[in-house]
């Protein structure tokens, strides 16, 4: 994998110097623009921005119950005429009675295809052009205590074309190899008693989503089951230990390759290129230790003497992809890494996250790894 080289640290320091001068008022709206500059051989020079707006749907004080809502916009463009735009919204109504999530994504970006399964080889990769449009909406209502129930709909359209003749993609047989579309309609159940959804220090979050893609609105009929669980323990005033489990499964007679669960991203199994391993089922577990740095420590950022609030993190996990009835625990893959967080909105516990993760080292290959700069926690 030719990893993207991120050149964001100087830009990040500039942003931090601006926000370090602001006085953070409790439960107020906030806006953070974060410039991003990157380079990779398959994309060329990439220029973009990550912008997050945080606000409260109930502005009447005092209200210490309603969680903050966020809108996240990430557009970027490359020197090879590729571009993408991601728009995400996470909305909580008064007293957290209703919770809405939405995502709108369009990108025209190349991706590496390595094949199917948990033992693909780096040298088999093929650079594949991918145009994708995705729209997803979810809504849940609190029905009792910490229990929520709701529905979801997701539409996704893909087009694929080989950018080169080498590698595994040109000669492999795949369902919907040139692309297709799918519409999943599902139901969701959630249990959520976390103290805060952004930087959690205690509590539990459990989610189960079961969705069906009917044949009349999809290239091929499918079922999808997605389950996730998070558990957090407060070890001390500054220390938190979190656990996260994830399961994603696609079921159907014909399964488009681009809908098969993919291992690796900035949220879980950090250190793996997204799509290096893909199969019908994906199971992953991770744990993360977070430590708040003493805010009394004085730090000079861009000639500004201030007391920013940081946290350090260490994480480790394991995961695998597998076909039905073929789960082999001896083939679980490792990941581990370190990170740092900066609280740019302490009242809402919103963070900028920098992580570096390492994965497995396959025979004859370099150890897999990745650098991540993100808004908000991994889980």
Tokens of 225: 């089951």
DSSP for 185-217? EEEEEEEE--S-SSS-SSEEEEEEEEEEE-GGG
pTM comes to 0.86
Residue 202 has which token pair? 């205690």
CB 320 within 8 A of CB 330: no
The DSSP output letter for 280 is: S
> Given this model, what pLDDT does residue 16 score?
44
Contact 250, 228 (CB under 8 A): no
245: enclosing H helix or E strand: strand 239-251
Tracing tokens 């090879």 back to the chain, one arrives at 80
Looking at residue 78, its pLDDT comes to 87
**Which residues pair with residue 251 across a beta bridge?**
223
Strand pairing of 69-78 and 44-55? antiparallel
SS3 content of the chain, % helix, strand, coil (to 5): 5, 55, 40
CA atoms lying within 13 Å on the CB side of residue 173: 1
∠212-216-217 over CA atoms, to 5°?
65
Return the residue matching tokens 């529905």.
151
Are the C-beta atoms of 222 and 357 separated by less than 8 Å?
no
Three-state secondary structure call for residue 144: strand
For residue 324, count CB atoms less than 10 angstroms from its CB and return exposed for 0-12, middle for 13-18, buried for 19 or more.
Answer: exposed
| pLDDT at residue number 61 | 63
Q: What is the pLDDT of residue 317?
A: 97
The whole-number pLDDT of residue 41 equals 65
Which residue pairs, CB below 8 angstroms and at least 24 apart, start in 164-170? 164/126, 164/127, 166/126, 167/113, 167/124, 167/125, 167/126, 167/127, 168/113, 168/114, 168/115, 168/124, 168/125, 168/126, 169/113, 169/126, 169/128, 170/126
Which among 255, 261, 256, 287 is positioned nearest to 274, based on CA atoms? 261
Residue of 220, 118, 127, 124 lying closest to 179 (CA atoms) = 220
Q: Could you identify the residue written with the tokens 């209703």?
A: 98
> 262 - beta bridge partners?
278
pLDDT score at 27: 66
Q: Give residue 295's pLDDT.
A: 61
Q: Across the chain, how many H-helices and E-strands are there?
A: 1, 19
With b meaning 16 or more CB within 10 Å and e meaning fewer, what string describes 119-142?
A: ebebeebbbbebebebbbebbbeb
Q: What are the backbone dihedrals phi and psi of residue 70, each rounded to the nearest 5 degrees, phi first?
A: -135, 150
Helical ranges in the chain per DSSP H: 9-19
pLDDT of residue 4: 43
CA angle 14, 5, 359 (to 5 degrees): 115
Looking at residue 33, its pLDDT comes to 87
Instruction: Profile the chain (379 residues) by mean pLDDT over runs of 10 residues.
Output: 42 43 58 78 80 88 83 91 92 95 94 95 94 97 96 97 92 94 98 95 97 96 98 95 98 95 94 95 98 67 56 97 92 96 88 94 94 89
Which domains does the chain carry?
A: 5-375 (2.40.160.50)
3-state SS string for 74-138: EEEEECCCCEEEEEEEEEECHHHCEEEEEEEEEEEEEEEECCCECCCCHHHCEEEEEEEEEEEEE
Nearest 5°: CA angle at 86, between 83 and 88?
175
């Amino acid at each position: 994998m030719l990893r993207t080289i991120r050149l964001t640290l100087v830009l990040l320091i500039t942003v931090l110097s601006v926000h370090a001068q602001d006085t953070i008022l409790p439960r107020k709206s906030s806006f953070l623009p974060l410039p991003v500059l990157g380079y990779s051989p398959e994309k060329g020079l990439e220029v973009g921005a990550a912008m997050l707006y945080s606000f409260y749907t109930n502005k009447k004080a005092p209200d210490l119950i309603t969680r903050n809502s966020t809108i996240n916009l990430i557009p970027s463009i490359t020197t090879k005429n590729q571009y993408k735009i991601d728009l995400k919204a996470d909305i909580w109504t008064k007293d957290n009675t209703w919770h809405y999530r939405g995502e709108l994504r369009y990108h025209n970006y190349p991706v590496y295809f390595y094949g199917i399964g948990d033992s693909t080889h780096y040298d088999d990769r093929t650079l594949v052009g991918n145009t994708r449009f995705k729209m997803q909406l979810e809504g849940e209502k609190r029905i009792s205590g910490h229990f929520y129930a709701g529905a979801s709909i997701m539409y996704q359209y893909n087009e694929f074309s080989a950018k080169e003749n080498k590698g595994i993609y040109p000669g492999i047989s795949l369902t919907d190899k040139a692309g297709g579309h799918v519409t999943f309609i599902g139901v969701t159940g959630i249990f959520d008693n976390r103290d805060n959804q952004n930087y959690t220090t205690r509590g539990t979050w459990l989610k189960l989503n079961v969705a069906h893609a009917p044949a009349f609105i999809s290239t091929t009929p499918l079922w999808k089951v997605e389950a996730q669980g998070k558990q957090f323990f407060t070890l001390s005033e500054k220390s938190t230990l979190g656990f996260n489990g994830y399961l994603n499964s696609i079921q159907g007679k014909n399964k488009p390759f681009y809908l098969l669960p993919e291992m690796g991203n900035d949220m879980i199994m950090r250190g793996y290129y997204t799509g290096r391993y893909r199969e019908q089922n994906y199971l992953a577990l991770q744990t993360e230790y977070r430590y708040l740095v003493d805010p009394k420590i004085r730090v000079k950022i861009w000639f500004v003497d201030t007391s920013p609030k940081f946290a350090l993190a260490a994480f480790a996990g394991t995961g695998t992809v597998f076909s039905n009835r073929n789960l082999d625990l001896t083939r679980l893959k490792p990941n581990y890494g370190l990170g740092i967080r900066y609280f740019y909105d302490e009242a809402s516990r919103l963070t900028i996250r920098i992580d570096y993760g390492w994965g497995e080292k396959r025979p004859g290959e370099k150890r897999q790894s990745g650098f991540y700069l993100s808004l908000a926690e991994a889980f």
